[in-house]
Amino acid sequence: MRRRSFLQALSTASASWVLPDYCLADPNDRSQGDIQADLIIAGGGLGGCAAALAALRNGLTVVLTEETDWLGGQLTQQAVPPDEHPWIESHGCTQSYRSLRDGIRDYYRRHFPLTPVARDSIQLNPGNGLVSRLCHEPRVALAVLESMLARFRSGRRLTVLREHQVIAANTEGDLVRQLKVRNLRDGREFVLDAPWFLDATELGDLLPLTGTEFVTGSESRRDTGELHSREEADPANQQAVTQCFAVDYLEGENHVIDRPEDYAFWKEYVPNLNPPWPGRLLDWTYTQPSTTQPKELGFAPVGESKPGTMNLWRYRRIADRAHFEPGTYQSDISLINWPQNDYFLGNLVGVETDDATRHRHEAKQLSLSLLYWLQTEAPRADGGTGFGGLRLRPDVVGTVDGLAKYPYIREARRIQAVFTVLEKHCGRANRAQETGQRESEVRAAEFWDTVGIGSYHIDLHPSTRGDNYIDFASLPFQIPLGALLPRRIRNLLPAAKNIGTTHITNGCYRLHPVEWNIGEAAGALIAFCWQRKTWPHAVREDNQQITEFQEMLCRQGVELEWPKA
């Protein structure tokens, strides 16, 4: 006889209400039918991993699906070192995210031959990259994430289904009942059954499958009042994706790749953006984000770049060989995630599957074309051309073609939320206008239903409908619970970049520690609802429940507000 579902029990809850027994089936034994758990999380990125950890430490069983063979999302499979705020070493993130950061440093100390100076550095930055205080190799973050989840997998409370994709959903009214997944290795399909679901996919894939109302692209200024919004809404106006890759450099050697099939196109391509791009995309001159004026960049794998330019080699460098004993590395290693390989000629959401596949292929062609240009035609500071010693490092990103396993996603489908974060809540100029305060004195909006905090400037890359960079100052902000609640669906929550933000405010809510905090809050909320036999929306609507949930978050190391001073 089929077990009584949690949702049926919740809808008829009484004083004698008893939790149903759960049996987490062996995912390799299809004879048992559906795989059951307390919580199904689709997407093994940072939000998905954080959500799983929060649910697991609070007693739930979890199934976590992931399309690739690596967990970690933008930190690993997309090969993007963490983008973080200036105070990250002391405050401004959850305790579990700090454990992830500390674990990465400890991994280097335990397993790599660091120099004595590097080993003794409390704030070790293995790559000495400019973009982050913690630039590191993707595999190290992967190893640490796996170690954080290991005890739950061994205890059979967590099942991780790598290379599995959610392809359909069974819904009933305002409830999600089941998800159907496909094993991408052998094509087998089966059903995941649970009372609770989280969408931690990179593109918000569960939202259309479950009928959860969502938006894409840019809203209109008329609807949001945002200073930097477009005049008219455009669902197809989405940020560029980037196909990252890793390289090292061996002076005097020739590692030039075969000429990419689309190189002729990308070599001559001039972006059609507003404000205008200064020339060809494959060039050292680009649009400086905050001013949208032309600015020259530099590049020098050995020595210094042209005076007055930022050396892109060091920008996302993930291995500085000076930190390691001689002979450990033949060269530094750098990740290439630059303006020159932002792909904005088409979207991955809101288009047919074949079109999305084509755009992913073209994004790869752009990145390979950038590499080939760097190897053969890029102007050098010494007057020569090309850096033939640049060597693609497929081993670093875990692929055959040398490109990251998944494109770097900056913008996903976003739920139509109970509460939407607008520019007036966290944009410095818009907030000052809203409050009548000076920009130097203004603080972000304080949310009574805060479930975390974050900070990053609002940073939108060129869009598929012709916007150049939109980059401006924001304020250290809170994450409101209302932005995690769909207006209608009751047992599915977002757990990544798909919360209730706008095209504009997504620009500061999409980065590594914020996505982690969103996932952690979502996983903890499900556990709270499980324990209290309540719904997520009811938690927000009841003063006592929201207070108790916030106290639970604080006890588990989630910061809810920024220091006043």
Shared-domain flag, residues 73 and 164: yes
Distance, CA of 13 to CA of 530 (rounded, Å): 12
CB within 8 Å of 461: residues ≥ 6 apart? 239, 240, 242, 339, 342, 344, 410, 469
Q: Secondary structure of 369-387 in the HEC alphabet?
A: HHHHHHHHCCECCCCCECC
- pLDDT at 8 exceeding the cut of 90: no
- Residue 404 counted as domain residue: no
Residue 279 CB neighbour total at 10 angstroms: 13
- Residue 95 counted as domain residue: yes
DSSP H or E run through 215: strand 214-215
Shared-domain flag, residues 512 and 420: yes
Distance, CA of 495 to CA of 487 (rounded, Å): 15
Shared-domain flag, residues 389 and 339: yes
Q: What is the mean pLDDT of residues 493-506?
A: 98
Shared-domain flag, residues 366 and 420: no
Cβ pair 474, 508 in contact under 8 A: yes
State the Cα angle at 102 between 153 and 43, rounded to 5°.
45
Note the pLDDT of residue 33. 41
Distance, CA of 130 to CA of 498 (rounded, Å): 28
Q: How confident is the model at residue 20 (pLDDT cuts 50, 70, 90)?
A: very low
Distance, CA of 110 to CA of 179 (rounded, Å): 41
Full-model pTM: 0.94
Domain residues for 311? 241-397
- Residue 402 counted as domain residue: no
Number of structural domains, the chain? Answer: 2
Q: What is the mean pLDDT of residues 184-195?
A: 96
Distance, CA of 559 to CA of 565 (rounded, Å): 16
- pLDDT at 10 exceeding the cut of 60: no
What Rg value do the Cα atoms of the chain yield, rounded?
24
Distance, CA of 222 to CA of 231 (rounded, Å): 7
Shared-domain flag, residues 418 and 492: yes
Cβ pair 450, 515 in contact under 8 A: no
Beta-ladder partners of 459: 471
Last residue of a domain, one of 339, 373, 397: 397
Distance, CA of 519 to CA of 513 (rounded, Å): 10
Beta strands 333-336 and 317-319, pairing class? antiparallel
Number of H helices, E strands in the chain: 17, 23
Cα distances from 154 to residues 147, 198, 421, 488, 561, in angstroms, run: 11, 22, 39, 36, 36
Distance, CA of 523 to CA of 220 (rounded, Å): 32
Cβ pair 292, 460 in contact under 8 A: no
- What are the tokens at 222? 């008329």
Q: What is the mean pLDDT of residues 285-294?
A: 96
- pLDDT at 22 exceeding the cut of 70: no
Last residue of a domain, one of 397, 432, 467: 397
Q: Which residues in 243-310 belong to E strands, given as ranges?
A: 245-249, 285-287, 294-296
Instruction: Choose between 565 and 385: higher pLDDT.
Output: 385
Shared-domain flag, residues 198 and 93: yes
Shared-domain flag, residues 268 and 378: yes
Beta-ladder partners of 416: none
- Residue 458 counted as domain residue: yes
- Residue 201 counted as domain residue: yes
Note the pLDDT of residue 4. 35
Note the pLDDT of residue 461. 98
State the Cα angle at 318 between 72 and 410, rounded to 5°.
45
Q: Report the residue count for the chain.
A: 565
DSSP H or E run through 450: strand 450-454
- Residue 281 counted as domain residue: yes
Q: At 470, which CATH number?
A: 3.50.50.60
Last residue of a domain, one of 370, 397, 424: 397
Shared-domain flag, residues 257 and 370: yes
- Residue 177 counted as domain residue: yes
- What are the tokens at 125? 């930055």
Model confidence pLDDT, tens digit, residues 52-101: 999 999 999 999 999 999 999 999 999 999 999 999 999 999 999 999 99
- Residue 228 counted as domain residue: no
- pLDDT at 25 exceeding the cut of 50: no
Shared-domain flag, residues 379 and 292: yes
Instruction: Quote the mean pLDDT of the chain.
Output: 94
Cβ pair 313, 300 in contact under 8 A: yes
State the Cα angle at 287 between 281 and 291, rounded to 5°.
170
Shared-domain flag, residues 523 and 547: yes
Shared-domain flag, residues 54 and 190: yes
Shared-domain flag, residues 386 and 465: no
